[in-house]
Amino acid sequence: MTTQRATLAALDRVRPYLLPLMALWTDTNALLGRPVSLTALQDTLVELEAKRFVVSIDQDGVAKWRISDLGSAELRAGG
């Protein structure tokens, strides 16, 4: 599983709720065979956000993430 797919899968599992960054990092790594660094995850999130597959919301100074409909569709399409 790629980091992008694991990230989308982690967010899709909790849809429609938002996952705080650290929780997303843990969940993504739980789905990956080989854990990624926080920086690598943040890079992935930037890519996914550019594709509008994920949405970032700042709540009380904490970055939280949610999968978009487009991201869910991408995940189901096997992207």
Partner 1 sequence: MRKTRSDSKLLNLPEEQQAQLADWLLGGMPYHEAKAIVAKPAPEGFGVSVSINAFSGFWQTVCAPMMLQRRSRAVRTADLIAEEIDKAPGRLDSATIDLLKQQAFELASSPQARPRDVKALFSLVLKARDQELVERRIRLLETKAAQADQAEQVVRNEVLSPEEKAQRFKEIFGIA
Number of residues binding to partner 1, judged by CB under 8 A: 14
Kindly tell me which residue out of 1, 2, 35, 46 binds partner 1, with binding defined by CB under 8 A. Answer: 35
Give residue for tokens 């189901």: 76
Nearest Cα residue to 21 out of 40, 33, 1, 73:
40
Measured CA to CA in angstroms, residue 15 lies from 12, 33, 40, 54 at distances of 5, 23, 22, 11
- By CB under 8 A, residue 17 contacts partner 1: yes
Q: Does 20 bind partner 1 (CB under 8 A)?
A: yes
Instruction: State in angstroms the smallest separation of the CB of 55 from partner 1.
Output: 13
* Among 4, 7, 27, 45, contact with partner 1 (rule: CB under 8 A): 27
E-state strands within the chain: 19-20, 54-59, 62-67
Residue closer to partner 1 by CB (options 23, 63) is: 23
